[in-house]
Amino acid sequence: MSAAGQVHGDVLEVGSGTGRNFPYFDAGRVRTLTLLDPRPAAGLSQRRARRHRLADRTRQVTGRVEALPFRSGSFDAVLVTLVFCSVEDPVAGARELFRTLRPGGIVRFVEHVRPPKERVARWFDRLTPAWRRAFDNCRLNRCAPATFSAAGFRVSVDATFRGGVFVCGTAERPRDGKHSRDRGEQSRVGSHAGHGSHAGTGAAETEEEGTRYD
């Protein structure tokens, strides 16, 4: 099942772009869908929303994840696909997601990260400055799971792809509403994925599944 197919209730998609994830949402489980993007493609997204029976519950908002224009506890789930590589302050963005999620809410993410093999990771580090200039602030050496953990989420990585360069997983806001303070958890996330908008990862390429950090 795709990451989009696993979110339900009041859903926020960060970095919605042209609405490429619409085919994967389960319309029967999504109560409301809020699309956030700094440069929303309104017309195309609206057409895709109508095609996939989501137009009556979809709204588009212009904004950035570091300063979400929503009240605390607004959403049950957030979808993020290849966004945090280009966020200027990723921890601030993750904290905003924590704030706007209800207790027990989740972030489903697919992100590219710094590779786990150090020799390859060093090449990613060298390429990142030029890559960032060429590709809209995208950094090759981020680590989204560690970012979510630092913001207080309980993070589990379901699968990695293409030599560990792509990760798919869940970041859950604890039901007690408190930030996770388990530093051991954060270090394990960091060691798994390294330091380090566009997704397409197939199940046939899965290399690792079921890693949990809590």
> pLDDT tens digit string along 118-135?
988 899 989 888 988 888
What sign does the dihedral 58-200-196-170 (CA atoms) show? positive
Give all domains of the chain, ordered by start, each with its CATH number: 4-197 (3.40.50.150)
Is residue 149 a contact partner of residue 157, using CB atoms and an 8 Å limit? no
Residue 191 pLDDT: 37
- Kindly tell me if the per-residue pLDDT of 112 is higher than 70: yes
Report pLDDT digits (tens) over 48-86: 889 999 999 999 999 999 999 999 999 999 999 999 999
Q: pTM for the complete prediction?
A: 0.80
